Chain A
Amino acid sequence: MDSIAWIEKITNAVIALMGGGPTAAIAIGSVLIITPIVIWILYRQAKKMYHDYKVSTARKVEDEKRKSDFTEVVKDNQGKSSQILSDQQKLEDKVKETKEARKKLRASKKKNMCKDCK
């Protein structure tokens, strides 16, 4: 109630300053009605502009990230692919070495067993 009384007092004071009368009252009334509408419209516009800005920034970030994500995937694949070829070859080399060593060991055992065969 205090705030309404204050608004009333201020309005009456302004009307008096403007020389009183219905014209002043209509002018004041129009300002009081139109101002919040204008503020509301400006607020909505600002909100939309901010949203558009954020959306545009998000799309730019997406594009940048997509570029770097794709590049990283390709680099990683190329790096790992060469490692894979090399490691698989190393394994097969070790398998061959191991089998040959075992053959030699078996042959040597057989030879030792048959030392006195002849």
Chain B
Amino acid sequence: MNSNSFNKNDLKDCYDQYFDAIRNYIFYKVKDVALAEDIVQETFIKLWKSRETVRKETVKSLLYTIAGNTVINHFNHMKVVRNHENEVITTKGRSSGESPLYLLEEKEFQLKLNAIIEMIPEGSREVFLMNRIEQLKYSEIAERLELSVKAVEKRMSKALVIIREQLGRKI
């Protein structure tokens, strides 16, 4: 990446390198695969539009920031009210009774797992999933989301509290 200009090849490099991580991150937030795909496209296009100001060293966290903001904009746009009881985006298959978001081997445990993860609020949820699914350390998560490690810990703690509460209830 030339320090003066960010060209299409640079964008493609970024895309190749960060696509999976960014798409997953968006998915953890919106819980809908088709929507996640739309937003990841928007994210890279927005990166392109602000290419004058992109610096190689910070492009990864910039992508996370753009992705996060695009998710927020999307919901504001649709005047969506997200409320713990009436989670807005129904997951693929909720209407048809198939298996929900995340795949795992044992069906029963999977349902419980999914139900619990859905109760973790956004913010904590993606930290939890980035750690569990992508095996990222707190320091890596902190770097990508531009948070302090302490902040990542706090969000993870919040997820743990909810998990503990839910496990305590015999589902």
Please determine whether chains A and B interact with each other in the same assembly.
no
Residues of B within 8 A of A (CB): none
A interface, CB within 8 angstroms of B: none
